[in-house]
Amino acid sequence: MYDVIVIGAGHAGCEAALAAARMGCGTLLLTMNMDNVALMPCNPSIGGPAKGHLVREIDALGGEMACNTDKTFIQIRMLNTGKGPAVQALRAQADKKLYGLAMKHTLESQPNLELKQALVEELKLKGDHLEVRTNIARLYEGKTVVVTTGTSLAGRVIVGETAYAAGRAGEFAAYGLSQSLRNLGFTLGRLKTGTPPRINARSIDFSKTIIHEGSDVPLYFSFSPPEEHTCVAAPNPVFPLGKPIQWRQQLPCYLVYTNHRTHEIIRANLHRAPLFIGLIKGIGPRYCPSIEDKIVRFADKEKHGFFLEPEGWQTSEVYVQGANTSLPEDVQLAMLRTIPALENAEMMRVGYAIEYDYVPPGQTQATLESKLIPGLFFAGQINGTSGYEEAAGQGLIAGINAVLKVKGKPPLVLHRDQAYIGVMIDDLVTRELTEPYRLLTSRAEYRLLLRQDNADLRLTPIGYKMGLVPEERYQAIEEKRGAIAAELKRVAKTYFAPGDKLDSMLAKYHLSPIDRSISALEFLRRPEADYKLLTNLGYGRADIAPEVVEQVEVEAKYQGYIERQAAEVERVRRLEEWIIPQGFDYDAVTSFRKEAREKLKRFQPATLGQASRIYGVTPADVAVLLVNLEKAKCTKM
């Protein structure tokens, strides 16, 4: 008997298992293949807009993805540096094999955690706990179970006119577990995703590519970067390295473009494309379409970019980002060879599409516990998401809540104003899924509050309360919070003295004179001003830590916007305080519209706030529901 059993050792499963074990519960992690722990079956990259925010939130809560990426990346960059802080995000290219090995080592070293290879065939409710049966009739019992099966549930790989059962290329599909979930009463849907071909770096003419370097200044996902970084000193010599980067060796990525010949070959073979001949039934992701889908949907585009991304320090495999496809192998090769840098390209792995079962929304609570079976949690692609980061964020929350369930404590639910993780999970339990879900910064209505730079301030206290963040790290964050508040207070009370001396100093920096007394805080709000300039003028402090300076600048420049978003949060929070009792009789509310009643009965929202975000439920329906909750004397949180 285990406290927590986690099925699947992908990014969701690893975070769930580590969280459960670190919170003191006896945990079992089952995986079909021990060599594929934390596998990156698609792009070996972590981060990007919204996704990078997730990784930093996972780190702030005490998860592992950020640290594991910092140990194993071959390149890291800050994206959107020309835009505001709300959408700036880190993105790293990881060494595919090192990432998995480093995570496996972490799992194997974790007390309270057992890692075993097994294919789960059946899941049964047995009294007050769950029973897991493997394909060789081994039984495990758990007080709670977290299912993180990725694309394995009834998985089917499709290339051209060929289709075969697989969780991913080279892996088993989990048909037994899929049927077992149906037997338990779950309704399953079907989704599709895909991956591009991999090509041999030795067959690429890099002189015809555009090099994209890594950062020349130190960048890390973790707020507490590991002291030692796994970094191979001698990368494969086939890759041109570009300019030297002093702080840490990195590999560049290389940009190429399609052309009219590429598009002609794709159009000439659409009759062989599974996506267009009906062989693929699952719904694919809109924000990561296949190249054949792009050519059809964006017929006016003359070219599309492909990034050639190395898969590791000492491998010749190169991932062709942007070339997701399920076209026949000969078409894939012909398509690639129309690009000047790839005229002699040799494919090492063919691109493919994959269909798989998932649990559609309405069957899972905001805690990620299923509504049908107490103690059964879902995390990752089984909930309809795509992406390693989305999976890891869900896995962390599911692992935490499985432990809280075992210990009889209230669950953890992050709200939309607290974290991108909260935005994602709230979307998953209140909205219809018409395609694999991908987190975007535009999904967060409070994104100025949910910046990647302040994730530690937002979430480390919660991670500490859960027992996932050590005391020393928590205290360091609180000291940082105090230093930010103190410096904001100081600059608000520090005033510039107008005069010739100040004007001459401003002129050195090509700034206009100041004709009235203003505070240093007001000065910082100017577009051309930053804290370094404030210090050069004699009004800043040279001993302030860079991370404190960063927060002071953001708070100063965006104070008005931040205050408005905070006021909106408070208004919406009043709706979240209204709890809708389990089993609330929506049929008894005669003034509901038919669509609203159907949606509310299906999704069974936990709060009035959740009800207000269900597509098809109008503000008028929410007002009717509020009146009926008041009549029923329902309590607030």
Whether 318 and 174 map to the same domain: the answer is no
Q: Which two tokens stand for residue 633?
A: 């004397």
Whether 185 and 164 map to the same domain: the answer is yes
Q: What is the CATH number of the domain that holds 493?
A: 1.10.10.1800
Place of tokens 């519960």: 25
> How many domains would you assign to the chain?
4
Q: What is the CATH number of the domain that holds 592?
A: 1.10.150.570
CB 190 within 8 Å of CB 436: no
Q: How far, in Å, CA of 23 to CA of 466, rounded?
A: 7
Q: What is the CATH number of the domain that holds 371?
A: 3.50.50.60
pLDDT tens digits for range 517-535: 889 999 999 888 999 999 9
> Which of 368, 323, 387 lies closest to 150, judged by CA?
387
pLDDT tens digits for range 323-382: 999 999 999 999 999 999 999 999 999 999 999 999 998 899 999 999 999 999 999 999
Whether 274 and 336 map to the same domain: the answer is yes
- Single out the residue in 429, 446, 463 at which a domain terminates: 446
Long-range contacts: 562-571, Cβ < 8 Å, 24+?
562/448, 562/449, 565/417, 565/446, 565/448, 565/449, 566/449, 568/445, 568/446, 569/417, 569/446, 569/449
Helix axes 51-60, 388-406, angle to 10 degrees: 30
3-state secondary structure 316-329: CEEEEECCCCCCCH
Cβ atoms within 10 Å, residue 332 = 28
Place of tokens 């709000």: 525
284 lies in a domain? yes
DSSP calls for 101-134:
HHHHHHHHH-TTEEEEE--EEEEEEETTEEEEEE
129 lies in a domain? yes
234 lies in a domain? yes
Q: Give me the pLDDT at residue 275, please.
A: 83
CB 74 within 8 Å of CB 310: yes
CB 7 within 8 Å of CB 120: yes
14 lies in a domain? yes
570 lies in a domain? no
- Single out the residue in 331, 352, 373 at which a domain terminates: 352
Q: Give me the pLDDT at residue 228, please.
A: 56
Whether 344 and 365 map to the same domain: the answer is no
Whether 238 and 341 map to the same domain: the answer is yes
569 lies in a domain? no
Cβ atoms within 10 Å, residue 322 = 21
Whether 167 and 61 map to the same domain: the answer is yes
Q: Which residues pair with 347 in a beta bridge?
A: 199
Q: Give me the pLDDT at residue 192, please.
A: 92
Residues in contact with 479: Cβ distance below 8 Å, sequence separation at least 6, in sequence order? none
Residues in contact with 472: Cβ distance below 8 Å, sequence separation at least 6, in sequence order? none
Edge-first strand listing for the sheet containing 198-200: 210-212, 253-257, 305-310, 317-321, 198-200, 347-349
Q: What is the CATH number of the domain that holds 299?
A: 2.40.30.260
Q: Which two tokens stand for residue 411?
A: 């669950």
> Which of 451, 202, 545 lies closest to 348, judged by CA?
202
Domain that holds residue 26: 2-193+356-446
Whether 310 and 363 map to the same domain: the answer is no
Which letter does DSSP use for residue 203 in this model?
G
Cα dist from 374 to 332, 370, 381, 581, whole Å: 47, 7, 20, 17
Whether 431 and 516 map to the same domain: the answer is no
| Kind and range of the H or E run holding 617 | none
141 lies in a domain? yes
Whether 58 and 183 map to the same domain: the answer is yes
Whether 61 and 189 map to the same domain: the answer is yes
Cα dist from 483 to 222, 438, 479, whole Å: 20, 36, 6
CB 608 within 8 Å of CB 576: yes
Place of tokens 């897991």: 132
pTM of the shown model: 0.94
Whether 260 and 317 map to the same domain: the answer is yes
CB 556 within 8 Å of CB 547: no
Residues in contact with 330: Cβ distance below 8 Å, sequence separation at least 6, in sequence order? none
Cα dist from 305 to 323, 387, 406, whole Å: 9, 20, 49
Q: Which residues pair with 156 in a beta bridge?
A: 165, 355
455 lies in a domain? no
CB 417 within 8 Å of CB 449: yes
Q: How far, in Å, CA of 623 to CA of 625, rounded?
A: 5
- Single out the residue in 393, 425, 446 at which a domain terminates: 446
Q: Within the chain, which residues score under 70 in pLDDT? A: 227-233, 633-637
Place of tokens 């997701």: 324
CA atoms within 13 A on the CB side of 549: 14
Whether 313 and 254 map to the same domain: the answer is yes
Cα dist from 549 to 484, 528, 599, whole Å: 8, 16, 47
Rounded to 10 degrees, the C-alpha dihedral 172/177/179/184 comes to -170
